[in-house]
Amino acid sequence: MRPGTRIVLGVSGGIAAYKAVEVCRQLVDAGAHVSPVLTEDALRFVGALTFSALASEPARTSLWDGPDLIPHTRLGQRADLIVIAPATARVIAKYAAGISDDLLTATLLATRAPVVVCPAMHTEMWEHPSVQDNLATLRARGVHIVDPESGRLAGGDEGTGRLADPARIVAAIDAVLGPGDLDGVHVVVTAGGTREPIDPVRFIGNRSSGKQGHALADEAAGRGARVTLITTSERAASAGVDARRVETAAEMEAAVLDVAADADVVIMAAAVADFRPKASAAQKIKKAEGVPEVVLEATTDILAELGRRKRPGQVLVGFAAETDDVRAQAADKLRRKRLDLIVANDVTAPGAGFSHDTNEVVILGADGLEQNVGLRDKRGVAREVLDVVVPLLRRTGA
Ligand code: CTP
């Protein structure tokens, strides 16, 4: 399994819910980012706390009680895969019928990710035509079913209906995920805004939050890439991302140039300062000293430098945060900095740009590509950008 793969683990209310704890643990051990979602009935068999303690984030149990206003769409859109283990006859029926009356079934309808259903129930229920018909419907829609095993069931009965062994479930998930389209590719991503010190407590900064760069790093890792993330942000990177923290443009320059020669793809999503104070005071500047005069000097344009050093086959992606004449300004940067792609956004558009969770961009290519990406979460934008990068890599044979 690729590190950071986002898996929603749905647990419904059957006695086998206790085995889902082991599925959760094995997925986390394999490097996945696991978000547990428990139905109300599941809570009769296992505690949410058990999953919260083992998973990558606290277990969710309701559409209404969490901090998110719309948890099902966030979970569904971000997931690389959803697995339901155990899946009761009831959850299977609801999913087949499109009923979305709790967080788990709503998440199932709000996703385009592959879904793995692991039924567990008594033999009579398993063999009931309604259950089999519902499973046939799901199969026909491309849902993957991990058939239950035969053995001892609750109450001492023997027969088919026992939840598949956790290792088998994890193997089935691995098979569904398959190799990523960035397997074996080294991607370098920069994120966040640099801080240029005036003195030990003051700096010149910008509004970049690092969210878009981190989303790119997470998405690339989820698709199999080896990712080096050079970031000014404190936010956590997903497992498998080699995150290196920097603060100033000079530190970012050194860190990027150190790894760029080996990179197949470099994505400069960071907002690098164009100017920095020529000198930074060793001690805090006091008001009593009067208003300081801060003399600025230019920083290195890292992206332009990468353009000069670019080796054949390397794909270079820039970002252009603009406030006016977005396309023309971005197209100009694409040419000047010798890029393959530039991701341009109008940071004044509603819901786009700095610190928002969403973004709306246009991707311009040196080959004439012009692709509008409407408003979506930053992971979704990352997905679109990498969808454009992958064929470029194939074309250049990197
Ligand atoms: N960039 C960089 N190094 C810098 C400044 C910017 O690598 N010192 C990169 C950013 O990471 C981003 C792109 O260049 O990918 C954005 O360029 P920008 O600074 O907006 O363009 P400029 O050429 O500086 O043009 P402008 O005068 O419009 O700011």
Atom of ligand 1 nearest to the CA of 303: 7
pLDDT of residue 356: 86
Query: How far is residue 325's CA from residue 28's CA, in Å, rounded to a whole number?
Result: 46
Which range marks the domain in which residue 191 is found? 186-396
Which pLDDT score is estimated for 158?
Answer: 87
Last residue within a domain, chosen from 148, 177, 206: 177
Kindly list the averaged pLDDT for each block of 10 residues, start to end, along the chain of length 398. Answer: 88 96 94 95 96 95 81 90 98 98 96 97 96 98 96 85 94 90 95 98 95 94 92 87 97 98 98 97 95 96 97 96 93 97 92 84 96 91 95 77
Q: Looking at the structure, do residues 69 and 138 belong to the same domain, yes or no? A: yes
> Is 206 part of the annotated catalytic residue set?
yes
d(CA 147, CA 95): 17
Give residue 125's identity as a one-letter amino acid code: M
Structure-token match 């054949």, residue found: 312
Provide residues with CB under 6 Å of ligand 1.
Answer: 249, 268, 270, 272, 274, 299, 301-303, 318-320, 333
CA distance 231 to 238: 13
**Ligand 1 pocket mutation pick from 195, 208, 301 by most atoms within 8 angstroms of CB:** 301
CATH number at residue 349: 3.40.50.10300
Q: Look up residue 303 and give its two tokens.
A: 């992206």
Total domain count, the chain: 2
pTM for the whole structure: 0.73
We report the CATH number of the domain holding residue 113 as 3.40.50.1950
Q: What is the pLDDT of residue 398?
A: 52
- Shortest CA distance to 8 belongs to which of 67, 122, 121, 85? 85
Same domain, 196 and 317: yes
- 260 and 378 fall within a common domain: yes
23 and 62, same structural domain?
A: yes
